[in-house]
Amino acid sequence: MIPTQFDYKAPATLDEAVALLASDLDGAKVLAGGHSLIPAMKLRLAQPQLLVDIARIKSLSYIREEGDQILIGATTTHYQLESSDLLKQICPLLPECAKSIGDVQVRNKGTIGGSIAHSDPAGDWPAAVLALDADLVLVGPNGERTEKAEDFFVDLLTTNLLPGEILREIRIKKPSGRFGHAYQKVPHPASGFAVVGIAVNLTLNNDGSCKSAGIGVTGVDVKAYRATLVETALAGTSLDDNAIAAAVSHICDGVDPNSDLYASGEYRCHLATVHTRRAIQAAKARVQ
């Protein structure tokens, strides 16, 4: 199918993009890598009247350190994150997550901001930014605001983005101390999307016990979520097999898991339990 007719603008600055979106709050849509939006338009699930292409705004693509934070511009591609030497050193969860996404074409065009804004229930980035307790910087007709990733994902393909807002930047506190990361994913064999994806950001005390755990889950519910019950159950334990097994038994508590032709809800929760355990063990083994 071909999309319905639409207009296309490629602004050179973020201010211009915000103004264009504000000129048609109901009909205008941000275009970034186009790897979720264009398929939706071809199926006519999305019928924007105006596409505002932000992928050509150079100032929106970067990965840098500032103080104790890592700043990532919204149009940074999956491949840029996968291949960043800086991130491999200071926040290896991000390149590990990036390299699990789709195929080479998808990783070269798709953007982290597009993935987070789209909030696909099987998207990988939402799990990673939840585990890392990221802040999202949003800019719109009423100025700029910051929202916690934890509050951002609301429902299926639905976020707290207000009409006319653009996700501008992802801010992550640089992991410090004795930390270890892991991303475990069961990819759908056709698309590569996560049937289940588990991101773990673990910090240990000097005696090897768990200081804190950040755990983001994708693929299981209608939206990615933070497994706070598992995080709380892990804190203070020695992270031995029994403690991990007891904690991960809560991975689907309060969740009504997705069921489809490929995986029932019950099977998804089984996968989530197994892969959360594996991700915690892998993160623990990587602690420096």
Ligand X SMILES: Cc1cc2nc3c(=O)[nH]c(=O)nc-3n(C[C@H](O)[C@H](O)[C@H](O)COP(=O)(O)OP(=O)(O)OC[C@H]3O[C@@H](n4cnc5c(N)ncnc54)[C@H](O)[C@@H]3O)c2cc1C
- Interface residues toward ligand X, by CB under 6 A: 29-37, 39, 54, 74, 101-102, 106, 110-111, 113-115, 117-118, 120, 123-125, 161, 166-167, 191-193
In the numeric block, which tokens belong to residue 285? 């083994």
| Residues facing residue 185 across a β-bridge | 197
Residue with tokens 């505002």: 52
Angle (deg, nearest 10), helices 265-285 and 241-248 = 150
Which CA distances in Å does 76 have to 7, 115, 135, 184?
Answer: 24, 11, 16, 22
Nearer to ligand X, 122 or 247 (CB): 122
CA distance 261 to 90: 39
Minimum CB–partner distance for residue 172 and ligand X (Å): 16
Of 223 and 284, the one with the shorter C-beta distance to ligand X is 223
Give least dist CB 40 to ligand X, A: 7
Nearer to ligand X by C-beta: 76 or 203?
76
Which residue, 36 or 203, is less far from ligand X as judged by CB? 36
Nearer Cβ to ligand X (125/179):
125
Task: Give the nearest distance from C-beta 161 to ligand X in angstroms.
Answer: 6
**Minimum distance of ligand X from residue 106's CB (angstroms):** 5
134 vs 125: CA distance, rounded Å? 11
Query: Nearer to ligand X by C-beta: 139 or 234?
Result: 139
CA–CA separation, 251 and 88 (whole Å): 28
Q: How far is the CB of 90 from ligand X (least distance, A)?
A: 22
Nearer to ligand X, 29 or 178 (CB): 29
Q: What are phi and psi of 206, to 5 degrees?
A: -60, -30
Tell me how far apart the alpha carbons of residues 95 and 119 are, in angstroms, rounded to a whole number. 19
Q: Where are the beta strands (DSSP E) in 54-134?
A: 63-66, 69-73
Going across the sheet that includes 143-148, the strands are 63-66, 69-73, 166-173, 135-140, 143-148
Q: Which is nearer to ligand X, 37 or 269 (CB)?
A: 37
Smallest distance, ligand X to C-beta of residue 146, A? 14
Please report how close the Cβ of residue 261 comes to ligand X at its closest, in angstroms: 18
| Shortest spacing between CB 166 and ligand X, in angstroms | 4
Which are the contacts of 285, defined by CB distance < 8 A and separation ≥ 6? 180
| DSSP designation for 205 | -
